[in-house]
Amino acid sequence: MIRALLFLTTVAVATSCNTVKTPEKTSDGTTAKSDTARTTAANPLLAPWSGPFGGVPPLDSVRVEHFRPALESAMAEELAEVDAIATSKEPPTFENTIAALERSGRTLARVQTVYAIHASTLSTPAFQAVESEMAPRLAELADKIVQNEKLFARIAAVYGAREKSGLTAEQKRLAWLVHSNFVHAGAKLPAPAKARLTEINQRLASVFTRFNKSVLADETGIVHVLASEADLAGLPESIRSSAAAAAEARGEKGKWVIANTRSSAEPFLTYSDRRDLREKVWRTYYARGNNGDANDTKVLITEILQLRAERARLLGFETHAHWKLEKSMAKTPEATLALMESVWKPAVLRVHEEVADMQAFADREGAQITIEGWDYRYYAEKVRKEKYDFDQGALQPYLQLDNLRDALFFTADELFGLEFTPVANLPLLLPEIRVYEVKEKGQHVGLWYFDPYARAGKRSGAWMNAYRRQERFDGDVATIVSNNCNFVKGAPGEPVLISWDDARTLFHEFGHALHGLLSNVSYPSVSGTAVFRDYVEFPSQVVEQWLETPEVLSRFALHYKTGEPMPKELLDKLQRASTFNQGFTTVEYLASALVDMKLHLAATPDKAIDPAAFERDTLAALGMPKEIVMRHRTTQFGHLFSSDGYAAGYYSYLWSEVHSADAWEAFVEAGSPWDEATAKKLRDHVFSIGNTIDPADGYRAFRGRDAQSDALMRERGFVAE
Ligand SMILES: [Zn+2]
């Protein structure tokens, strides 16, 4: 399969997380060419994966200097393989064209798998230098394949004959997918347009890399140093100790450091009693990329928007958003706007209620303030305590990471009959990473790598990654998936306690892993999570729901000192408070998603959009509550500007949530979260089918009808039950 053309290749990430590209190509079925055999000895990236389970990635023997030569060699190999398919003397058939493409590029897929693991979990300045150099060259390779006219003629011939050439339903779908991906990427354009397209894609790849570096520089280069106890007022012990450790790491022992990152800024804004410091931290955090200095991203964004608009016009679309949405479940920008706007209005009304509650609280305290952006998280916590007598922190002693990992395994077993057992002695990047073999009825299903801890060079947030996709067209290939988080390690011998939100994230990412593990298809390009981006978050979001079941909590949410299960009273409070602050959460997210879509609808090749002015005017027109800012302000919106991944696609989380909320109600209607018949349908029509059928058809087969958005409105508490 062609790495470059799987437009949706990716990892799926939670809203709170950074994106990571997953290489789509998998498995090592191909024989290394004789001329690469020589280099293989010196470069572990080029060898087929060795070891048990059909081979595993050589994570213990790769060094940064291996990447460039390995990528160059593997790119040349892929081009040669594609060229051989394109110039075949045989008449084009599914087997010698589409299936042959699925077989091609195996070495590059393996190299890129390890490359992506380093990029997301162990990125160093030396690695970043390789990335800057290779990003435009990888973009160029993709265009060379799309623009190979002989190859496209053969693909078009196979696609044209698909109804009368005896293909299976999956083969027909794959022929359609490959053909439509080529057309989408410009295969039908005249030569001068193709040349310009290549220039645009390479330029974009370079600007994306610069955007990333700039935002990272503002996150790591700016810190708040707190010098006295008085600066720590209100902060719980866990924040104090991590701030002290951060200071020590910077050579300022005895002080405290708050980094300019989400994981440091958000807890500070939630707990600090010092309103002056909250304002400072808030202003600095939301100004990333917008400081008028060398790291300001506005000029990069203006260029990205113009290039994307020009590319869309070349490809025959009105805007980048129209082009992008062609490859989605939503299909049109209008459909996404209609959904977003229907949720926006009740969410804004809820924000006004939330602000009124907080203002009343502040007034009773005699604070003599008007609620501002830097007060929202702080007073929301106070109101939560007052209204529901519920403190999120009270859950934490019951949420031990090891127990919650076992809860994931319990859920997978109860729903789908999957069993997880630890595997030792596989090559690992670091010893703290764990690997589990997954079996069903004694048969090997795949491997699950779990990398739970934060470290320098690891991206923040959480994500899933497919190291190898399931396939069986040339014999069974089992999948290898991984889950990655950023938990802070406990002291030696102490359990790692995580927050309720983190526990949900753990279940979310495990949902993506199950989507990969349960895949049961023939071809890797349509396997597992290789589905439309606005559908891929549905399986992961729905799995979050099982965390809250009594069966999971009573077995696994055990107090780390007493071993007692979480008291029912605490659970009841948690449930009563479940729709609390949903106005804030929804508006913070939706403002970002709406600005994304509107930016990409407004951009044209010849208009230089000022991102700051556009953001200000768009939010004013929407009626953005003044107490909230976008979750990702435009100048720091990595989803949109560090790749094409989520550009005109940030709405995807909401689109998927319509499906996950509606799907969960199928279990509620069946009377149990563990209802066997419903779980089987979910597996048969969602988790196992990858992209072998239209997702709307798959959903309908599961639910008996299309998804309805009222389940989402109930989940968020925007309609009366
Ligand atoms: Zn996700």
pLDDT digits (tens, 9 = 90+) for 390-447: 887 889 899 999 999 999 999 999 999 999 999 999 999 999 999 999 999 999 999 9
> Which residue in this structure is represented by tokens 């007022």?
233
At residue 350's C-alpha, the angle toward residues 349 and 352, to 5°, is: 70
Distance CA 71, CA 138 (A): 9
pLDDT tens figures, 504-513: 999 999 999 9
User: In which region does residue 487 sit, left (phi positive, over 0), alpha (psi from -120 to 50) or beta (all else)?
Assistant: beta
Predicted pLDDT at 545: 97
Q: Catalytic residue among 78, 509, 537, 627, which?
A: 509
pLDDT tens figures, 541-568: 999 999 999 999 999 999 999 999 999 8
Tell me the average pLDDT across 22-37.
34
> Which residue in this structure is represented by tokens 């069966």?
551
Please name the residues in contact with 105: beta carbons below 8 A apart, sequence gap of 6 or more.
Answer: 1, 2, 3, 25, 74, 77, 78, 81, 82
Helix-helix angle 125-146:191-220, to 10 degrees = 160
Predicted pLDDT at 578: 87
Predicted pLDDT at 263: 80
Distance CA 619, CA 444 (A): 52
Distance CA 454, CA 651 (A): 28
Burial label, 429 (beta-carbon count in 10 A; 0-12, 13-18, 19+):
middle
- Give yes or no for residue 21 having a pLDDT over 80: no
Band (241; pLDDT cuts 50, 70, 90): confident
At residue 541's C-alpha, the angle toward residues 535 and 546, to 5°, is: 145
Element (H, E) at 321: helix 320-325
> Which residue in this structure is represented by tokens 């009270």?
394
- Give yes or no for residue 569 having a pLDDT over 80: yes
Predicted pLDDT at 41: 58
Element (H, E) at 434: strand 434-440
Distance 512 CA to ligand 1 centre (A): 7
Element (H, E) at 453: strand 443-453
Distance 168 CA to ligand 1 centre (A): 31
Predicted pLDDT at 75: 97
DSSP state at residue 431: T
Predicted pLDDT at 391: 83
Structure tokens at 291: 């400081």
- Give yes or no for residue 6 having a pLDDT over 80: no
Predicted pLDDT at 1: 58
Q: Beta strands 418-423 and 434-440: pairing type?
A: antiparallel
Tell me the average pLDDT across 623-651.
96
Which pairs from 672-680 meet CB under 8 Å and 24+ separation?
A: 673/545, 673/546, 673/549, 673/551, 674/414, 674/415, 674/549, 674/551, 679/415, 679/416
pLDDT tens figures, 260-299: 988 889 999 999 999 999 999 999 999 999 999 999 999 9
Instruction: Name the H helices within 221-297.
Output: 237-249, 262-271, 275-285
- Give yes or no for residue 5 having a pLDDT over 60: no
pLDDT tens figures, 175-226: 999 999 999 999 999 999 999 999 999 999 999 989 988 998 898 889 999 9
Tell me the average pLDDT across 514-536.
97
Distance 660 CA to ligand 1 centre (A): 12
- The three-class DSSP label of residue 287 is coil
User: In which region does residue 441 sit, left (phi positive, over 0), alpha (psi from -120 to 50) or beta (all else)?
Assistant: left
Please name the residues in contact with 635: beta carbons below 8 A apart, sequence gap of 6 or more.
Answer: 288, 289, 290, 296, 297, 298, 301, 611, 612
Question: Which neighbouring-strand residues pair with 420?
Answer: 438
- Give yes or no for residue 88 having a pLDDT over 60: yes
- Give yes or no for residue 23 having a pLDDT over 80: no
Distance 501 CA to ligand 1 centre (A): 14
Distance CA 265, CA 257 (A): 11
Residues in the chain, total? 721
pLDDT tens figures, 320-329: 999 999 999 9
What φ, ψ does residue 558 adopt, rounded to 5°? -110, 140
pLDDT tens figures, 48-75: 999 999 999 999 999 999 999 999 999 9
Distance CA 109, CA 2 (A): 9
Share of the chain above pLDDT 90, in %: 82
Distance 469 CA to ligand 1 centre (A): 17
- Give yes or no for residue 456 having a pLDDT over 90: no
Distance 164 CA to ligand 1 centre (A): 39
Helix-helix angle 611-622:582-602, to 10 degrees = 130
Predicted pLDDT at 40: 54
Distance 17 CA to ligand 1 centre (A): 8
Nearest-Å Rg of the Cα atoms of the chain is: 25
DSSP state at residue 422: E
Concatenating the DSSP letter of every residue in 703-716 gives HSS---THHHHHHT
Band (319; pLDDT cuts 50, 70, 90): very high
Structure tokens at 356: 């009124």
- Give yes or no for residue 38 having a pLDDT over 70: no
> Which residue in this structure is represented by tokens 């009273």?
569
> Which residue in this structure is represented by tokens 């999956």?
170
Q: Beta strands 443-453 and 256-259: pairing type?
A: unpaired
- Give yes or no for residue 32 having a pLDDT over 90: no
Distance CA 540, CA 183 (A): 30
Distance 305 CA to ligand 1 centre (A): 26
- If one counts every other C-beta atom within 10 angstroms of the C-beta of residue 394, the result is 16
Please name the residues in contact with 343: beta carbons below 8 A apart, sequence gap of 6 or more.
Answer: 586, 590, 654, 709, 712, 713, 716, 718
Predicted pLDDT at 434: 97
pLDDT tens figures, 595-618: 999 999 999 999 999 999 999 999
Distance 21 CA to ligand 1 centre (A): 13
Asked if 300 and 210 touch (Cβ cutoff 8 Å), the reply is yes
Structure tokens at 514: 């199950």
Predicted pLDDT at 242: 84
Predicted pLDDT at 14: 33
Distance 711 CA to ligand 1 centre (A): 19
Share of the chain above pLDDT 70, in %: 94
Pick the residue with more confidence: 6 or 491?
491
- Give yes or no for residue 492 having a pLDDT over 80: no
Burial label, 240 (beta-carbon count in 10 A; 0-12, 13-18, 19+):
middle
Tell me the average pLDDT across 654-670.
97
**pTM for the complete prediction?**
0.90
Tell me the average pLDDT across 129-134.
92
Annotated catalytic, 90?
A: no
